[in-house]
Structure 1
C-alpha cells in the first residue's frame, strides 16, 4: 500500500464525542487561519464551544474523521432546522488528508447525507467564503448548486467572509 493509500485506509468517520472538542477546535482554526488565512477566531464560532447544544440537541449531528492514531483530521456538522432544512457546517480536512486519494471529505460528506435522509431533511444549504474555490468545486461535484443569499430557505448565523451560498435538494 502506498503512503497515500495508508492514509485513506486509516481515516475513520465517527460521531463526535466531547473528549474530542479541543482537537476539533484546533483542527478547524488551523485550517481556517493557517492554511486558508480566513481570519476567524473561536469567538466568531460559538458553536464550537458547545457542539452538543448547537448540533445534536436540535436534531442535527457532528462527525469527526480520525487518523489511525486517533487524531482528528477532519470535521463536519449538520444543523437541523424546521421544514426539512439542514445547514451544513464545519467541513474541514487537514491538508495531508485532502483529495481523492484519501476520500476523507467524501466520507464525512456521505455521513451527513445518510443522516439527513434518515432524519427527514430534504434540503441542505451552506455558506462558504468566496475565496474557498476548492470547497466550491467539492460542493458542486456533490450535487450542490450555488444560490443567491435571498434564496436561502432559512435564517441562520454565519460569519460573513464575502460568503457564497449553496443548496442540495435530496428529493
Structure 2
C-alpha cells in the first residue's frame, strides 16, 4: 500500500485539485456549483499562498486525493477552506484528512496564526465530528470577525486556537 504524502500546492496541481473538489460538492452533497463559481480555485497561489496562508494537496501514487487551504484574514486569524478528501482516501486507515489538517496546524504555528476559523454546511456531518475531534469548537455566525470569508452554503461555524 502506498503512502499518502502532503505537500504545498504547485500551479500544475490545479486540475487535480478541481477533480477532487467538484465531484464531492456536486455528486456527494448535491450542490449546483462549478469551478467557475469558485474563483479562488483559479488563483490558488494569489488567494491562499500569501501572507500567513497556504494551500496543500494530499497525494497518493502521483494523484491528488485531498486538499486544504488556509486563507490569512489578518489580525492573527486565518480561515480553513477547501478541505476535501476523495472517497477512496478517506478513513482512519488512510489518515489523509488528519495529515492535511496537521500540516495546516504546523504551518499556522510556524507563521504565527493564533486562531483558525471555518464555515461548513449542516450536510457535512462527518466533517463536524472530525473538526470537533481536532479541537474546533462551534460558534455563532455573529461571533466571527468581519474579515471572515462567508460562503453562501455555510450554516455552521467553528474556531480553534493554534497551540504553540
What is the TM-score of this pair, normalised by structure 1?
Answer: 0.90
Given that residues 87 and 124 in structure 1 are in contact (C-alpha distance below 8 angstroms), is that contact kept between their aligned partners in structure 2? yes
Residues 52 and 108 of structure 2 are in contact (CA less than 8 Å); yes or no, is this contact kept in structure 1? Answer: no
Q: Is 1:145–1:167's contact at 8 Å kept on the other side of the alignment?
A: yes
**With structure 2 as the length reference, what TM-score do the two structures score?**
0.94
- RMSD between superposed Cα atoms in Å: 1.3
TM alignment of 1:1-171, pairs within 5 A: 6=1, 9-68=2-61, 70-171=62-163
> 2: CA distance between counterparts of 1:59 and 1:52?
12
- Distance in 1, Cα, partners of 2:44 & 2:51: 11
Write out per-residue CA displacement over residues 20-68 of structure 1, whole angstroms, 9 at most, x where no aligned residue: 1011012100111112222322222110000011011233100000012
SS, match of residue 66 in structure 1:
strand
Contact persistence 1:129–1:160 (CA under 8 A):
no
Q: Deviations over 1:118-159 (max 9, x none)?
A: 111010000001111111110000000110001112423332
Structure 2 contact 119–154 (Cα < 8 Å) conserved = no
Higher helix fraction: Structure 1 or Structure 2?
A: 1
Any gaps of 5 or more consecutive residues in structure 1?
Answer: 1-5
Q: Distance in 2 between matches of 1:129 and 1:20?
A: 26
